[in-house]
Chains A and B, each alone.
Chain A
Amino acid sequence: MAALPADFPIPIARVSIPEHVVYRAFAAETVILNLETGRYHGLNATGGRMLELLDRCDSVAEALVELAGSYGKQQVEVEQDLRVFCTRLHERGLIDVTFNGSR
């Protein structure tokens, strides 16, 4: 699996959750389970919100708009956080990222 570069092009990127990954939102945190490795990963409330948006939205750009809106921030203020979040989840095999329909 090729690493996701930190400057990946958000406008044409889309995130999907692989079949071997499930996540569940708890009151305290969100837990991601990688069924291939058997490892659990915990996300705080912000991380959980990011994951939920990335999973639900049709593109990373759309998730960025919603994320900025829900925290009352400019997109540029949260873009870097979202990029780092995506690269970290990707390097752990917890998300797939496609660009214009190609992996």
Chain B
Amino acid sequence: MAVAEPAASVTPVVTQADVERRGRAFGLEVLSAYEIPALEIPAPARGGPASSLRSTVCREQGAAELEHAWPTEGVEPLVELRFPNGRPFLSVSRHREQGYRIWAPRHGRHVVSPDGREIRSALPRSAAAAWQRLFFAQTLPLAAALQGLELLHASAVGLGGRAIAFTAAAGTGKSSLAAHLLATGATFLTDDVLALELGADGVLAHPEPARASVFSYELRSMTNEGRARLGRRVAAADKPQFEPSRASSALPLAILYRISRSPRFARLGLHEQVPAEPMAVLASSFLTYLRTRERLLNQLAVCDRLTRSVRVYDLEIPASVSAQATAAFVRAHSEGVLAE
């Protein structure tokens, strides 16, 4: 059943022909005609691993114009999520020639071209954090995946010039773990979606936009210095958002922790997967609705390289152990692994 959409509630904006702003995220160079915060990145450090940056052009369009251009036939619904009360939450559909249409009420609507090189967006007048949330969580990752980046549902930080990633079921605490690692000096890569690509010897992990969501109760357990390392606070919601400084370039992925949290665990535990299990890695894939032949083959290739080049650990966290204590445990372990 198709999601019934309310009349367009966004205000048409002036369309700019020229793209004036540049930023980077998910391994893409993002060229935009309007301001997209959190994409600025310092000049890449010398000597960092080479990565091939793809580009995506972002343009604004009025909602009515965007909807009018979207076909009514030949459209395949891919995702239709609703709130418990039945209201639409997120809709993603696909048309072979037009690409992918992403819509979430009060968060805007976007059309991503089939090759991921163009995004046309109707942005709502509501708080910028609302449209940025959808744009960063769904739209840009889709453009990246269409251009050959592989995506994991993971948080990640940089330590000693290498990337450490965490996969887990939603609500397990991977974002909180990353936040506490940031508070102790790690570099931000992502708190939800990790973009990967094949590197010369392994797998490269690209930074996402500089937005880290941290629960208030996690903030309270940090020192003032630790909170300062999260960067400027940019939005207050149930989960306040911060703008941490990001890694200046892609980092080689060195360690992947698969997190499980359960009252069954008596203490923090680590078990290395030797050899690493590919199906477990594939189970953490993000944007699973995207099943083009190219994406699937790339996914398999990245998984292959990852299982050969990355140390994979199952991390067991007792329900009573805090994210802060887990972060200290992980930091000590990962520094030991990286020093080997």
Contact = CB atoms under 8 A, between A and B. Distances in A.
Given A38-B291, A40-B279, A42-B279, A27 B296 contact: no
Contacts of B279: 29, 31, 40, 42
Given A31-B279, A31-B282, A31-B300, A26 B293 contact: no
B44 interface: no
Contacts of B273: 28
Interface string B284-309: 00001001010011001001100110
Contacts of A28: 273, 275-278, 307
Interface string A41-80: 0100000000000000000000000000000000000000
Interface residues of A, number: 13
Nearest to B301: A24
B291 A26 contact: no
Interface secondary structure of B, over-half rule: helix
B307 A40 contact: no
A26 B307 contact: yes
Interface string A7-44: 00000000000000010101111010101011010100
Contacts of B297: 22, 33, 35
B275 A27 contact: yes
Contact of B277 (A29, A37, A38): A29
Nearest to B295: A38
A24 B304 contact: yes
A40 B278 CA distance: 10
A27 B279 CA distance: 12
A40 to B, nearest CB: 5
A29 B296 CA distance: 18
Nearest to A31: B278
A31 B307 CA distance: 12
B309 to A, nearest CB: 12
A40 B282 contact: yes
A57 B307 CA distance: 29
Interface of B: 273, 275-279, 282, 288, 291, 293, 296-297, 300, 303-304, 307-308
Closest 8 CB pairs of A and B: A38-B291, A27-B275, A42-B279, A28-B275, A26-B278, A28-B277, A35-B293, A31-B278
27 contacts: A22-B297, A22-B300, A24-B278, A26-B275, A27-B275, A27-B276, A27-B307, A27-B308, A28-B273, A28-B275, A28-B276, A28-B277, A29-B277, A29-B278, A29-B279, A31-B279, A31-B303, A33-B296, A33-B297, A33-B300, A35-B296, A35-B297, A37-B291, A38-B288, A38-B291, A40-B282, A42-B278
